[in-house]
Structure 1
Amino acid sequence: MGSGSAMQYGICVASRPGDIDYVVEAERLGFTHAWLADSQMIWSDVYAMLALAADRTSTIQLGTGVAVAGTRLAPVTAAAIGTINQLAPGRTFCGIGTGNTAMRIMGHRPQRIAEFDEYLSVLRSLLHGEEVEYTLNGQTAPIAHLMPEDGFVRFDPAPPLYVSAFGPRALDLAALHGDGLITSVPPDPAAVRHMRGVISERRAAHGRPTSRSDFPMATLTTIAVLEPGEATDSDRVKQQVGAFAVAALHYSYEQMAQFGRRPPAHLADMWGDYVAAVEETPLERRHLRTHLGHNCWVIPEEERFITKELIERSCLVGTPDDLRRRVAELDEAGLDQIVLLPPLDAKEDVIAAVARELISSTPPER
């Protein structure tokens, strides 16, 4: 890679069949992972997309980014991932979370931690082809896939389990059950170092290996490569990172609404206006408003909230040399993969620039 860093680069894809060529292009450019998103009321079905991607690619790692525990039983998720692993043996992974967006869009809270703990325990066993005691509707019985060697599913090799986590309780479950972490920390070495430290501490407490190689950490963000003399809040940069930046407002609003948590300090100046804009929608329909355009585009009412500070706090924006330096610092702090989620209209331009400046100085010919 041009920066000399060991950093891996992935893409997160808002699942849509018409964008399968985007996954193919990411593979051509040297991206290592494609995380296909699962959110049933805004995007297409993630497993249909993964099947298409498996058929069209040959090297890129394919998985859910992330699957929603609250909308599919653990055996259903295991069978779905096992099917993709049959189509793309050894390059399938499972990202799983409580459903921060997918559940809230339906007016429900994400899965509770105790339920997520049980879900992860069952899912991990099933992904390893093991029999496990499973409770459904108050009845417990042993379950296992009965025909794992007959072409239906593949659990050898077992798809790695990446747990989505942000807070201390979810991080503890990631350390206990996961093979890796998928999160979305600010692209700041101190934040990465803190999260890596928490994971290492909890892995040790659970008697699990603590070395970095045993537990990779990936974070969701996006990148804009500046042109000479360009400002970090230019119109072009806003087009490339605005959807991801404004999604941070969506998340902060949900945290305030559910838990009463104050927004980060850098949102203070705009927060009152943003809350007022969201709460123009009646409470009983607000879940249909909060995540409009989620990581795909910015709705007109929210364009005014994409400030220079919001961009710089949530995204990696800089000159090629700046970005190489910052990526190396994130690598040193304990980050293993940067997962890019650019908006739909600019996604090809974003990954082309990242491939050119950070992955390889000479992308292969078409």
Structure 2
Amino acid sequence: MLTYSFRLPPGPNTVAYAVAAEQLGYERVWCPEVPAFGHDIWVTLARIAEQTSRIGIGAAVLIPSYRHPMAQASAIATIEALAPGRLWAGFGTGFTGRYAMGQPALTLAYMRQHILQVRGLLRGEAVEIDGGMAQLLASEGWLPERPIQTPLLLASQGPKGRQLASEIADGLISLGAPAPGFDPCLVSINGTVLDDGEDVTSPRARTALAPLVALAYHFTYSSNPESVKSLPNGEARLASVEKVPEPVRHLSVHRGHNLDISNDHDQLVDVSMARQMTFTGTRDELRARLDAFEAAGATGVIFGTSGADVERELHAFAEVAGL
């Protein structure tokens, strides 16, 4: 049976949403590490840990280049102290998070090294980092006793990343179709739950969906700007982006990422294909898609939405999931 979690970007209302998710019966809330777009992930997760009692807490995806392995391990250990056994941590190459700073995604070799270093520190081992030996040296009572067994997952959609996950991670966060052979295999999705008879172009749905459909434009632009022209209304959007000076163009592209369309380009996004490009449909349509995920090997789903009406989506997806 699938498990159901909700993704909540760290921000001013995230703790309140997490409390609501616990009351609605979600298994876990996940926060992504997006420091350019909102609050710090570990501060937010600590606040959630203190304001909830049952719900699982997830950090995903963590982008290794943002934090030294020791700082990462200490943060994980701190949440374990606040909420024993409730934390899972997922790592990713930071395609969006790094492109928003003008940097490429991390290599899988970098990912391997960081995850193994963090895992070793959590076990209480002395680990080589940057040419020196490092170890969690906290005295008794300051951090949980080592080894700390927090599950470490890897987010990937390609075969090489999934092979790495099978070698060093405790599970997979799938950014596309499920992959058999992983437990857990959590499918990360974005969308909105349509009311019966509601079209994706309705004012409510378009407000919710435009930032999510825009992710395809952001991803395509970061990979190959000219390919944006192949997307609906892509030529107009690319022309809008190219009016921005090249050295800061990436900042303009990613502004409002996943939350809103405040960057002066995403209002040109065409949402007519949102059913195909996002996890969007009526309650019955989405239940059928969840069944297909489970049949393909998923063990759980992480549902996320834009910043338009998170409270509505928390309740609507809970109805879809039968919570």
TM-score normalised according to structure 1 size = 0.81
Does residue 286 of structure 1 match 2:281? Answer: no
Residues 1:318 and 1:335: Cα distance change in structure 2 (over 3 Å): same
> Deviations 1:273-318 (Å, cap 9, x if unpaired)?
3322222211101121111111111235312313221x12232222
**Letter aligned with residue 306 of structure 1:** D
Distance 1:50 1:90 in 2: 14
- Aligned-pair distance for 1:242? 2.5
Unaligned runs of 5+ in 2: none
Given candidates 156, 168, 187, the residue that maps to 2:159 is 168
Residues 1:356 and 1:148: Cα distance change in structure 2 (over 3 Å): farther
Distance 1:149 1:339 in 2: 36
Q: Is the 8 A contact 1:221 1:314 kept in 2?
A: no
SS at match of 1:316: coil
Does residue 29 of structure 1 match 2:24? Answer: yes
Alignment map for 1:90-239 (pairs within 5 Å):
90-127=85-122, 129-136=123-130, 139-141=131-133, 143-147=134-138, 149-153=140-144, 158-185=149-176, 191-192=177-178, 196-197=179-180, 200=181, 212=182, 215-239=183-207
Given candidates 59, 67, 80, the residue that maps to 1:85 is 80
Alignment map for 1:327-346 (pairs within 5 Å):
327-346=290-309
Distance 2:109 2:148 in 1: 28
Unaligned runs of 5+ in 1: 1-5, 186-190, 201-211, 361-366
Q: CA RMSD in A?
A: 2.2
Q: Is the 8 A contact 1:64 1:94 kept in 2?
A: yes
> Deviations 1:135-194 (Å, cap 9, x if unpaired)?
31xx242x3212374232455551111112222332222221111112321xxxxx33xx
Does residue 42 of structure 1 match 2:42? Answer: no
- Aligned-pair distance for 1:113? 2.3
Q: Is the 8 A contact 1:39 1:101 kept in 2?
A: no
> Deviations 1:342-361 (Å, cap 9, x if unpaired)?
1223110011111123233x
Structure of higher RCO (CA pairs closer than 8 Å, 6+ residues apart)? 1
Alignment map for 1:68-79 (pairs within 5 Å):
68-79=63-74
Does residue 307 of structure 1 match 2:275? Answer: no
Distance 1:156 1:238 in 2: 48
**Letter aligned with residue 129 of structure 2:** T
**Letter aligned with residue 147 of structure 1:** A
Q: Is the 8 A contact 1:222 1:241 kept in 2?
A: no
Residues 1:7 and 1:301: Cα distance change in structure 2 (over 3 Å): same
Distance 1:346 1:31 in 2: 18
